[in-house]
Amino acid sequence: MINLGCGSRFHSDWINIDCVAQDPSVLVHDLSKGIPFGDNTCDVVYQSHVLEHLPRNAAKGMLQECRRVLRPGGILRVAVPDLEQVCRMYLQKLEAALAGDVAAAHDHEWMVVELIDQCIRQKSGGAMREYLQRDSVPNLDFVVARIGEEARGLINKTSSPTSPSLVLKVKQAVRDAVDNTRRVALRLLGGPQSDNALEIGRFRISGEPHLWMYDRLSLKVLLLDAGFSTVEASQAGVSEVENWANYHLEVLPDGRIIKPDSLYMEAKK
């Protein structure tokens, strides 16, 4: 069983893979180079909030790679932000706010941020971080209900990233040296604003922004197009994967859903 792009949600019964390890047990691998396993070698592949960070034209290839490593009858479980859910909630709060509901007006402001920010932001944390780091957040409970406990983490989160490995530090030093050379050339050609353009460009390909969004229809169509035989919508903590609930990858032991804004689907090879 493989957990792709695991972040801080991993389990010892799984092979957990990410580009930066938050635990020594996590296998460090660049998934843009494929999944480091042979054909028909895995029973389950799981990816949570990974697909939306890929360009739309790269998503099918990622799903085909998942299918490649699965054995016949194997399961791919995918979780992504639910475009339908966020749009419906946005419209609901819009109508209520227009009718004079003050609390709904606060919620509407958040829903605009939730719908748009992660796709268009130009710096880490974006408008979400700015919203949650205000002196007072009148609808914090609503925000937590929308995106989970990560909302509380964003309130106190600094811009300092997790300490990278030595290899990543070396790669970063090389990139910085190249960037410095580019900055000099760009400044000569385009003026001081070129520095800002370079920073924005690097951030946009950093892996943090969302590059596409999915709903029940578009994700199902994409999975079928990638070659999966059956595709079914699911829900947090419920799966055909044996003992799924015991891994707590989506639902904490106390019953809280880690990413309540998610759309869940399972596909079989």
CA quadruple 74, 62, 7, 128: dihedral, nearest 10:
-130
pLDDT tens readout for residues 131-176: 999 999 999 999 999 999 788 777 776 433 333 443 344 444 445 5
Helical axes 216-225 vs 56-69, angle rounded to 10°: 60
Residues of the chain with pLDDT > 90, as a percent, come to 73
Q: Are 119 and 211 in contact (CB under 8 A)?
A: yes
Q: Are 162 and 20 in contact (CB under 8 A)?
A: yes
pLDDT surpassing 70 at residue 105: yes
Closest to 59 in 3D by CA, of 71, 47, 74: 47
What pLDDT, on a 0 to 100 scale, did the predictor assign at position 54? 94
Q: What 8-state DSSP symbol labels residue 7?
A: T
pLDDT surpassing 90 at residue 87: yes
Residue 194: pLDDT band by 50, 70, 90 thresholds? low
* CB burial readout 85-104, b (16+ within 10 A) else e: bbeebbeebbebbeeeeeeb
**Residue owning tokens 């050339």:** 185
What pLDDT, on a 0 to 100 scale, did the predictor assign at position 13? 95
Task: Tell me the CA end-to-end span of the chain in Å, nearest whole number.
Answer: 14
CATH placement of domain 2-81+214-268: 3.40.50.150
Closest to 194 in 3D by CA, of 179, 206, 172, 174: 179
Sequence ranges of the domains in the chain: 2-81+214-268, 83-156, 166-199
pLDDT surpassing 50 at residue 98: yes
